[in-house]
Amino acid sequence: MVNISKSYDKTKDVISNINVTIKPGEFFVLVGPSGCGKSTMLRMIAGLEEITSGVLKIGEKEANLLPPSKRDISMVFQNYALYPHLSVEENIVFGLHVKKVSKIERKKRCTEVAEMLGLSELLKRKPRELSGGQRQRVALARAIVNQAPICLMDEPLSNLDAKLRAHMRSEIRQIQRKLGITMIYVTHDQVEAMTMGDRIMILHDGKIQQIGEPIEIYNQPANPFVATFIGSPPMNLVSGNIHRERREISIGETVSIKVPEKDAHLLTTEKILVGIRPEHLKPVAKGDTSAHHFTADVKNVEILGNETILAFRVGDREWLAKWSGQWMIQVGQVIPISIDYDSICLYDLETEVLLKAPSNIENHVINQEVIL
């Protein structure tokens, strides 16, 4: 995509200057809040929406004016779009029938895809006799059976319950790897984006916020929007006051962060935006005087079994800390919390540009050998 824009009224763009190259065989995720333009972009790739300006290339061929039938693309919609009067088998091969693929070839492809997706026993049923997950598999089978090199998926799991969504995420990803197809997947769910994508494009108000691998975006969010959109719970953000002579950033009356001399050049303004992931706010061990810490009045406690989430105020914002395990802390209890300069993000308060990413990321392992 080169400088792709979309406008419905010729005055305001709903999508502005999108530049991205999606690699063959890649699982590419478009993610963002409702109304950010991600589904519109998918429909432009499919040929269902007209491109206002810019160039869309599929392979080496310019595709702006190609009809959908000539783009060699399959698509899975949010609402499944199954024909209620046709059986599962007839739904799966409907597109092949339209393309005048031979009956023997249709049967062969349908059998292979049904086996791959666990639909072999359901081929004679009607859609009304299927569960939500089974209908989603039929919609996926119909896309795969066309053997198109590119598959577009528009929030296909949004109608499923949480457990089934987790299962289908894994299933779709495994099928994509097995077939080696290029998949462009739209979702508003950052968990889906993080767990499924080779790369993610984050959109907001029709503009690209960041493109990159999921872990790169999580560790180095380009701006405050990305920082709070990716991650659950989201990154804690608050404005801090800069004290250049002491090389310190203070937040409210309780938090003071010492800035090392090597980063003193970042302290050029009076205020700065400070961000830290909830899991990087640590409990202070009893008797530990070395760690820098502040005290917090606990406003809420959520014990989730494997982890505990604590809410408290820092400056004018509510912050969250995520601690592994089960912590029996009471609301109203005052506790010490450790904050490390190497774990924080710093953003320019005016431009929202990332000035410093975390350099001490817990459990960040690169190519470590696993001994079995």
Q: For the chain, which residues make up each domain, given as ranges?
A: 2-223, 233-356
Q: Give pLDDT, residue 216.
A: 94
Q: Which fold has domain 2-223?
A: Rossmann fold (3.40.50)
Cα–Cα distance measured from residue 216 to residue 189, given in angstroms and rounded to the nearest whole number: 18
Q: Give pLDDT, residue 247.
A: 92
- CA dihedral angle for residue 274, residue 279, residue 283, residue 289, rounded to 10 degrees: -50
Instruction: Count the neighbouring beta carbons within 10 Å of the beta carbon of residue 195.
Output: 14
Q: Vertex 195, ends 111 and 186: CA angle to 5°?
A: 70
Cα–Cα distance measured from residue 345 to residue 225, given in angstroms and rounded to the nearest whole number: 13
CATH of 233-356, one of 3.40.50.970, 2.40.50.140, 3.40.640.10, 2.60.34.10: 2.40.50.140
Of residues 271, 321, 322, the one with CA closest to residue 294: 321
Please enumerate in sequence order all residues whose Cβ is within 8 A of that of 276, keeping only pairs 6 or more positions apart, or say none: 235, 236, 339, 343, 344, 345, 358
Q: 143: burial class by Cβ within 10 Å (0-12, 13-18, 19+)?
A: buried
2-223 and 233-356 in the same fold: no
Q: Tokens at residue 197, please?
A: 């994508």
Q: Tokens at residue 208, please?
A: 């690209």
Q: Give pLDDT, residue 355.
A: 95
Which DSSP state fits 266? G
Q: Give pLDDT, residue 297.
A: 93
Q: Give pLDDT, residue 316.
A: 82
Q: Give pLDDT, residue 372.
A: 45
Q: Give pLDDT, residue 49.
A: 92
What pLDDT tens digit does each residue of the chain (372 aa) get?
889 999 988 888 899 999 999 999 999 999 999 889 999 999 999 999 999 999 999 988 899 989 998 898 998 888 878 899 999 999 999 988 888 889 899 999 899 888 888 889 999 999 999 988 888 889 888 888 888 899 999 988 887 788 888 888 888 898 899 889 999 999 999 999 999 999 999 999 999 999 999 999 999 999 999 999 999 899 999 999 999 999 999 998 888 999 999 999 999 899 999 999 999 999 987 766 655 788 999 999 999 999 999 999 988 889 999 999 999 999 999 999 999 899 999 999 999 999 999 986 665 544 445 444
pTM for the predicted model, two decimal places: 0.88
